[in-house]
Amino acid sequence: MYGLAYSINDPAGDGIARVLRDKLGLSESSSCRDSETCFQGVNVVLAGFREDVIYFDFLDERMPRETEVYIVLSRHSSEAKVKSYTVHHTGNFGDHAQYGGNPGELGISSPKVSWLILRALSESWRVSNRVEYEVSYEATHHGPTSLSKPIVFVEVGSSVEEWSDTLNHFIVASSIIKLLESPSADCKPVIGVGGGHYPRKHTDLALKENVCYGHIIPKYALQHLSYETLDKMINRSDIDIKEIIVEKKGTRVEHRSLIEDYASRTGIEVRYV
């Protein structure tokens, strides 16, 4: 079962949820604990909570036990005011957790689920002709990080104008519905190293080839790159990771040496883009 969650105080999440309730014909349910709203359908539950999404560390306790993966419907903020539809996993690479979760901890990624949503978003974006928007993975960031099941964020950026736009709600909801209708995927699970917060090379590769990303560590967090970090990125996934994809221009020689040494010890593939 897919567990869709959102904050009732978030205009993006609340708007997407309203479209999903209507399009999926969901019925009110009592299967969610301490939620503000709870609706259920075939293989899906949709729950609204009062808390902010980065503090959804309680989902294991409040969502139905049958839930296999959490998908959080959310707004996205950007100082650059980038209009966007984004997908990402959660985690903190460093010793601080300014935006929820625990320091040095990564949530469990779901490469196939996030990839299917990314591709569905790209398709919905093309049909809607919203050329001023960008469809992208985001690098791994913020909480929650300690849940026992995979968690994927899908977001609308990056100001209240975009968060409140009903067409944006429809585009994201349509992408979730496509996932529910066709949940299987044939892709090669990978992790990503390098690139910006919007790792465009990794996104382009995922949209062109059958490679699906779990965690992505961006260039600005590479001071935390280590064997332990790579272990976390690979092991905190709901499917076996087969390859490390490295943005060459976004890494230094010492980063690439560390990755290649790690790969030689573990037998995992490495690819530069």
> pLDDT tens for residues 129-171?
899 999 999 999 999 999 999 999 999 999 999 999 999 999 9
The Cα 158–Cα 162 span in angstroms is 6
| Tokens matching residue 192 | 């990503």
Q: Which amino acid is at 60?
A: D
Structural domains for the chain: 2-181 (3.40.630.50), 188-272 (3.40.50.10700)
| Overall average pLDDT of the 72-87 stretch | 92
The dihedrals phi and psi of 201, each to the nearest 5 degrees, come to -65, -40
pLDDT at 251: 96
Mean pLDDT of the chain: 97
Band of residue 228 on the pLDDT scale cut at 50, 70, 90: very high
Q: Report CA-CA distances (Å) from 79 to 157, 163, 222.
A: 10, 15, 22
Q: Do the Cβ atoms of 27 and 39 come closer than 8 Å?
A: yes
Kindly indicate the confidence band of residue 236, based on its pLDDT and cuts at 50, 70 and 90.
Answer: very high
Place of tokens 């490295």: 246
Three-state DSSP at 263 gives helix
Check pLDDT > 90 for residue 80: no
Say whether the peptide bond before residue 144 is cis (omega within 30 degrees of 0). Answer: yes
Residue type, 252: R
Whole-number Å distance between alpha carbons of 170 and 128: 10
> In sequence order, which ranges of the chain are alpha helices (DSSP H)?
11-24, 59-62, 111-128, 160-163, 166-181, 200-208, 227-235, 253-266
Q: Do you know the residue count of the chain?
A: 273
The residue-averaged pLDDT of 223-238 equals 98
Token digits of residue 206: 């995922």
Measured at the CA of 120, the angle between CA 118 and CA 123, to 5 degrees, comes to: 110
Mean pLDDT across 225-237: 98
Distance CA 122, CA 41 (A): 25
Return the residue matching tokens 């959804």: 56
Q: Specify the 3-state DSSP secondary structure of 17.
A: helix
pLDDT (0 to 100) of residue 203: 98
Rounded Cα distance between 261 and 172, Å, is: 40
Q: What is the mean pLDDT of residues 64-69?
A: 97
**How sure is the predictor about 79, in pLDDT bands with cuts at 50, 70 and 90?**
confident
Q: What is the mean pLDDT of residues 59-84?
A: 94
Does the global pTM surpass 0.85? yes
Rounded to the nearest 10 degrees, what angle do helices 111-128 and 166-181 cross at? 130
